[in-house]
Copies of this chain bind each other. A is one copy, B any other.
Amino acid sequence: MHIVSPYLLFIGDATDQLSIKMARGAADWRPELCIGEYSVAGCTVTTGIEKMSIEQAAKKGAKSFVLGFANSGGVLEKKWLPYILSAMDHGMDIVSGLHNKLCDFPELVNKAQQTQQQLLDIRHPKAEFSTGTGVKRSGKRLLTVGTDCSVGKMYTSLSLEKSMKKLNFDVDFRATGQCGILIAGQGVAIDCVIADFISGASESLSPNNKPEHWDIIEGQGSLSHPAFAGVSLGLLHGSQPDALVICHDLNRSHMRGLPESQFPSIASTIKLNLQAAKLTNPDVKVVGITVNTSSVSIEEGQRICQQLSTEFSLPCVDPMRDGTDSIVKTLV
């Protein structure tokens, strides 16, 4: 699967910044891939990039129409079909990270056949994977892992990639979720593969490479999350990382979505991940910690990072406020 750029980001009539996470991720991290944003009456939010119609975007060369919004159930509402059909008529592939599949709407399948455009359901991997082998691959790999879900693993990974590119590393960001896939133009929604193939799909995501090449792999879930730890472990084993970065968010008292669950310490997160990662890479090391400190002042955030850095003898930063250069320096 390969998503062809440039993208027209369609945010519909969204009124909530969180609901346009897909569009914002692409606009924030790959502005060069995004030709414009298209919204309709009622929309009160924006990614900040230039607004334009389907016709205008087509004239400027847009190749993919991205459904950049999501409601809670990931449902594709019928009201959006005319916009999607029009985008295909204007020469664009359709990219969706919704739970509902584009391919399940006969009118879209017909139009796709007629126009030769692709319907890309990036949340539903189509590739046939093999089961994992655990065999060591060439090249280097870094995986972001978390105390919990939604603690900034994708943003940390992208910040690391940016920092490494600046320092002339040979590096690729490897996406494992729908936002990341849109940003990278490819990847595998790892929590959507059949359980038997989690590890095998993860292996295929960062294949053999040059010895000095780094893959920065977007982590998923947490080994301490009762719902998603299996995904996290399969991804960890398949990634066989040389380096781990621990991602954390302030002010959480329980695992995301589970009020009765216990939140793990950073120390136990380091211990659990190192222990499990050693199965496929005995030389794995933790090279840094990132914290989303957006809920406190810059000064307070820096104080917290400094404290964690001292406690664990590791660089600790907020990737959005500080960047991740200090972590990348440990990889040189």
Residues on A facing B (Cβ under 8 Å): 131-135, 190-196, 198-200, 224, 226-235, 237-238, 255, 257-258, 260-261, 276, 279-280
Contact = CB atoms under 8 A, between A and B. Distances in A.
Per assembly, the copies of the chain total 2
A131 B229 CA distance: 11
Residue picked from A230, A232, A235, most chain B C-beta under 10 Å: A230
Contacts of A261: 134
A83 B229 CA distance: 43
A192 to B, nearest CB: 6
A261 B134 CA distance: 7
A195 B260 CA distance: 23
A229 B237 contact: yes
Given A133-B227, A133-B258, 5 more contacts: A134-B255, A135-B258, A192-B195, A199-B226, A200-B227
A228 B233 CA distance: 9
Given A224-B279, A279-B224, A230 B260 contact: no
A135 B257 CA distance: 12
Give the interface centre of A200, A234, A255, A276 by most chain B CB atoms within 10 Å. A234
Contacts of A237: 226-227, 229-230
A196 B200 contact: no
A22 B227 CA distance: 31
Contact of A198 (B133, B135, B230, B255): B230
Contact of A195 (B198, B226, B258): B198
Contacts of A194: 191-195
